[in-house]
Chain A
């Protein structure tokens, strides 16, 4: 029998499925969404894409903090007495149906005036009337139809950012001027001495001069700024010869026109700036749906529930922004909420998941009076705690105070282009001065001419374009292969690496596929049947995982069934009782203290055994490590215990470092240590626990099962499905840099040809106008074709697997 899938979300319908309106739904949540949509004539949602939805989560009380005025103020884009505008990030936006339903929200609630979706960014901007309505209602409405917005501390104190569109404006100005100057200078390319031209050339030249003004003083401003900065810090960057070239071009042309020496080089000037800006634009590929700058703020809640005694001595709850938490405050942490501060547990018991901090995914039991550190996720119902510190004083947050997070890496890295430009600038200046001096003896009138001609023709347009186009192209190709880089500099850094360090949990192992083994007395048929039926009703991830691998048994409804959050399930069927869950819950015999993730089984009050969950290694790990070990030093640092040391030793070449029980600061220190031994390190990790290491390493790569969910601050994000291609990506990056080098040689050849004309004193505007675009365009073509060829390896690599 083919499995029925949910009409709303496309999941396979299990046994609690609902049949409604002649359609199958996997749960009542999905049915409710369908009901809401179809009753408002929004069933067009299902016409655009099959099963586009996602089932809503139960979130009563979760968004109460959105009624707090201070919090609202921070979150809203705009507000007055009647209207509010808010931008929300909704990770769930994934298809055209999503856009359609979200832009038709006003049909669900008349208070909503308009909504606009930005699909690449996965954001929605909602304008609504505030009369009897508020942000809380908006968020609840979105949640009820399966589009829960993600609101984190990051939204809270974000500066209201304005988009920087200056590069587009500059490109527009330069392109506009370039086109017009070309058209105005065209007549003079051919017949200089014609009567008609002679009469009108002043107006043409004057106009060209006028057009070049905004190009030099507005469009090319960044080059001057950067050149001055370079001179101040004594680094001869590529912008110095460019700025010099632009300046000399402009002054020489103005003088030529003013004193009627010639038509000037305005065409070359505007063209140069236009091409350079085009290169910048091409290099500036951004993945708007990704963020490379995340820190703990993206994970932390905006608000927390504070318990306060009022005058009559009764406790009452109010929501306060997390920044307002003071030591001594009593807080209520709901189920699945993150602890925002270091605190003391007041409630009797708590079960915390510190995977966010340590990378190890097992729950830790705490009892009343224990100290809890910020970053743990509460997993067993709501608990009361007393704050010990403020948010910024908490232990986890202090990691971000370290200098690795405040310094930008690019400050210490010199790109290939800038390395070459040092010699280039010195070379050009000496050639220009030398040939100027020589000409001063031959023909003093021409000396200044030759000097300027050399600087003009040697203006490193092609040189400056080679790296942006070559590396920009590789950046795009990597993006197509689900390897997203922060900028093109990362490619150059990747080419210089000599050490790779992997995190274990979540990086070498997957978080999705678990290997489950059973240890203990075998279960009989009755126990097995009851186990399967009990797990069917549970939504705990471990239950789901175990349910999926158990063989099918008759479907029966247990006579008695109860699930204890964070502990386990208790159920009974025809005299057979079964307790499924944690060690305490099942009175498990704790023979070994080896920490492991397991579901324990207790049958008829007797402990039977346990299902052990092991993370399985990613496909192709051993092959990848074999490919890498010839060129790189390898190491593994893990927050986990040494349980799998033997297995890892087999994977790595002998002598490699394998470290266990490393906290985030240890990882950072390890990388700093290796860098002290002249290692250029690439850190490959996944969680926030690797954040320090990712920031410290030359190239920090975050592995992500789903690139739409959050990954810590890093230089690159790699989709987990392409993990086995890391070697290929590194090879292409290396090749990319060698392509840039070879294109430098090519552009130097063009410069030599140009210099010949310049030194011999025959550089006419026409030759400059031909040579400059010719060299630029051919360099761009050359690097584009070659990088495309180089990255064909990636395609072959992915097909072979």
Chain B
């Protein structure tokens, strides 16, 4: 039954991993603004086209 040590150790390790991930995400400010990312996520398609479009407008940028 010595396996119980291994099992306990593993289960606590898994729990600790999630705990650390939680702490890191809070520290990075993921919980500071919980609304804007939900909107920003929907812009993704728009941003992928960006490189192509920027080439077209590049001369204009220089003009300014």
Q: Chain A: residues with CB nearer than 8 A to chain B?
A: 39-41, 44, 96, 99-100, 103, 107, 109-110, 117-121, 163, 165, 168-169, 172, 176, 179-180, 183, 196, 199-200, 203, 207
Q: Which residues of B contact A172 (CB under 8 A)?
A: 19, 22-23, 26
Sample of 15 more A-B contacts, CB < 8 Å, known A118-B33, A118-B36, A120-B35: A39-B60, A41-B54, A100-B46, A107-B50, A109-B64, A119-B33, A119-B35, A163-B32, A165-B26, A165-B27, A169-B23, A172-B19, A180-B12, A203-B4, A207-B8
From the candidates A40, A119, A207, name the one contacting B39 in the complex (CB within 8 A): A119
| Alpha-carbon distance between A175 and B64 when the two chains are bound, in angstroms | 55
| Alpha-carbon distance between A121 and B34 when the two chains are bound, in angstroms | 11
Q: Which residues of B contact A176 (CB under 8 A)?
A: 15, 19, 22
Is the pair B23, A200 in contact by a Cβ cutoff of 8 Å?
Answer: no
Is the pair B8, A40 in contact by a Cβ cutoff of 8 Å?
Answer: no
| Alpha-carbon distance between A663 and B15 when the two chains are bound, in angstroms | 62
Is the pair A179, B15 in contact by a Cβ cutoff of 8 Å?
Answer: yes
Of residues 19 through 64 on chain B, the ones whose CB sits less than 8 Å from some CB of chain A are: 19, 22-23, 26-27, 29, 31-33, 35-36, 39-40, 42-43, 46, 50, 53-54, 56-57, 60-61, 64
Is the pair A107, B54 in contact by a Cβ cutoff of 8 Å?
Answer: yes
Is the pair B26, A203 in contact by a Cβ cutoff of 8 Å?
Answer: no
Is the pair B43, A103 in contact by a Cβ cutoff of 8 Å?
Answer: yes
CB distance from B62 to the nearest CB of A (A): 9
Say whether, besides A168-B26, A207-B8, A207-B12, A200 and B1 are in contact (CB < 8 Å). yes
Is the pair A99, B8 in contact by a Cβ cutoff of 8 Å?
Answer: no
CB distance from A419 to the nearest CB of B (A): 34
Q: Which residues of A contact B15 (CB under 8 A)?
A: 176, 179-180
Residue of chain A at shortest CB distance from B53: A41
Residue of chain A at shortest CB distance from B15: A180
Is the pair A40, B26 in contact by a Cβ cutoff of 8 Å?
Answer: no
Is the pair A40, B43 in contact by a Cβ cutoff of 8 Å?
Answer: no
Residue of chain A at shortest CB distance from B38: A119
| Alpha-carbon distance between A179 and B23 when the two chains are bound, in angstroms | 16
From the candidates A39, A110, A121, A165, name the one contacting B33 in the complex (CB within 8 A): A121
CB distance from B20 to the nearest CB of A (A): 10
Q: Which residues of A contact B26 (CB under 8 A)?
A: 165, 168-169, 172
List of 4 A-B pairs having minimum Cβ-Cβ separation, nearest first = A119-B36, A41-B53, A118-B33, A176-B19
Is the pair B43, A120 in contact by a Cβ cutoff of 8 Å?
Answer: no
Is the pair B36, A117 in contact by a Cβ cutoff of 8 Å?
Answer: yes
| Alpha-carbon distance between A179 and B11 when the two chains are bound, in angstroms | 12
Q: Which residues of A contact B46 (CB under 8 A)?
A: 44, 100
| Alpha-carbon distance between A143 and B62 when the two chains are bound, in angstroms | 21
Can you name 26 A-B residue pairings with CB atoms under 8 Å? A41-B53, A41-B54, A41-B56, A41-B57, A44-B46, A96-B42, A100-B46, A107-B50, A107-B57, A110-B61, A117-B40, A118-B36, A119-B35, A120-B35, A163-B29, A165-B27, A165-B31, A165-B32, A168-B31, A172-B19, A172-B26, A176-B19, A200-B1, A203-B4, A203-B8, A207-B12
Q: Which residues of A contact B53 (CB under 8 A)?
A: 41
CB distance from B61 to the nearest CB of A (A): 6
From the candidates B1, B23, B36, name the one contacting A99 in the complex (CB within 8 A): B36
| Alpha-carbon distance between A169 and B22 when the two chains are bound, in angstroms | 9
| Alpha-carbon distance between A34 and B40 when the two chains are bound, in angstroms | 22
Q: Which residues of B contact A120 (CB under 8 A)?
A: 33, 35-36
Q: Which residues of A contact B22 (CB under 8 A)?
A: 172, 176
Using C-beta atoms within 8 Å of the partner chain, give the interface range for chain B: 20 to 34
Is the pair A99, B39 in contact by a Cβ cutoff of 8 Å?
Answer: yes
Q: Which residues of B contact A39 (CB under 8 A)?
A: 57, 60
Q: Which residues of A contact B43 (CB under 8 A)?
A: 99-100, 103
| Alpha-carbon distance between A172 and B19 when the two chains are bound, in angstroms | 7
Residue of chain B at shortest CB distance from A95: B39
| Alpha-carbon distance between A707 and B53 when the two chains are bound, in angstroms | 39
CB distance from B35 to the nearest CB of A (A): 5
Q: Which residues of A contact B64 (CB under 8 A)?
A: 109
Q: Which residues of B contact A179 (CB under 8 A)?
A: 15
Q: Which residues of B contact A196 (CB under 8 A)?
A: 1
| Alpha-carbon distance between A117 and B50 when the two chains are bound, in angstroms | 19
Residue of chain B at shortest CB distance from A110: B61
Q: Which residues of B contact A119 (CB under 8 A)?
A: 33, 35-36, 39
| Alpha-carbon distance between A632 and B42 when the two chains are bound, in angstroms | 51
| Alpha-carbon distance between A96 and B42 when the two chains are bound, in angstroms | 9
CB distance from A465 to the nearest CB of B (A): 23
| Alpha-carbon distance between A176 and B40 when the two chains are bound, in angstroms | 31
| Alpha-carbon distance between A203 and B50 when the two chains are bound, in angstroms | 58
Residue of chain B at shortest CB distance from A200: B4
Q: Which residues of A contact B61 (CB under 8 A)?
A: 40, 110
| Alpha-carbon distance between A44 and B44 when the two chains are bound, in angstroms | 12
Q: Which residues of B contact A165 (CB under 8 A)?
A: 26-27, 31-32
| Alpha-carbon distance between A537 and B51 when the two chains are bound, in angstroms | 44
Q: Which residues of A contact B50 (CB under 8 A)?
A: 107
Q: Which residues of A contact B40 (CB under 8 A)?
A: 99, 103, 117
| Alpha-carbon distance between A41 and B46 when the two chains are bound, in angstroms | 11
Is the pair B60, A40 in contact by a Cβ cutoff of 8 Å?
Answer: yes
Residue of chain A at shortest CB distance from B1: A196
| Alpha-carbon distance between A121 and B54 when the two chains are bound, in angstroms | 30
CB distance from A97 to the nearest CB of B (A): 10
CB distance from A285 to the nearest CB of B (A): 13
Residue of chain A at shortest CB distance from B46: A44
CB distance from B18 to the nearest CB of A (A): 8
Q: Which residues of A contact B39 (CB under 8 A)?
A: 96, 99, 119
Residue of chain B at shortest CB distance from A180: B15
| Alpha-carbon distance between A196 and B1 when the two chains are bound, in angstroms | 9
| Alpha-carbon distance between A168 and B5 when the two chains are bound, in angstroms | 31
Q: Which residues of B contact A183 (CB under 8 A)?
A: 11
Q: Which residues of A contact B36 (CB under 8 A)?
A: 99, 117-120
CB distance from B52 to the nearest CB of A (A): 10
Q: Which residues of B contact A168 (CB under 8 A)?
A: 26, 31
Residue of chain A at shortest CB distance from B56: A41
| Alpha-carbon distance between A183 and B14 when the two chains are bound, in angstroms | 14
CB distance from A728 to the nearest CB of B (A): 29
Residue of chain B at shortest CB distance from A211: B12
| Alpha-carbon distance between A121 and B19 when the two chains are bound, in angstroms | 28
Residue of chain B at shortest CB distance from A184: B8
| Alpha-carbon distance between A163 and B27 when the two chains are bound, in angstroms | 10
Q: Which residues of B contact A110 (CB under 8 A)?
A: 61
Residue of chain A at shortest CB distance from B58: A110
| Alpha-carbon distance between A120 and B36 when the two chains are bound, in angstroms | 7
Q: Which residues of B contact A117 (CB under 8 A)?
A: 36, 40
Q: Which residues of A contact B29 (CB under 8 A)?
A: 163
| Alpha-carbon distance between A168 and B33 when the two chains are bound, in angstroms | 14
| Alpha-carbon distance between A172 and B33 when the two chains are bound, in angstroms | 18
Q: Which residues of A contact B5 (CB under 8 A)?
A: 203
CB distance from A38 to the nearest CB of B (A): 10
Q: Which residues of B contact A118 (CB under 8 A)?
A: 32-33, 36
Q: Which residues of A contact B32 (CB under 8 A)?
A: 118, 163, 165
Q: Which residues of B contact A207 (CB under 8 A)?
A: 8, 12
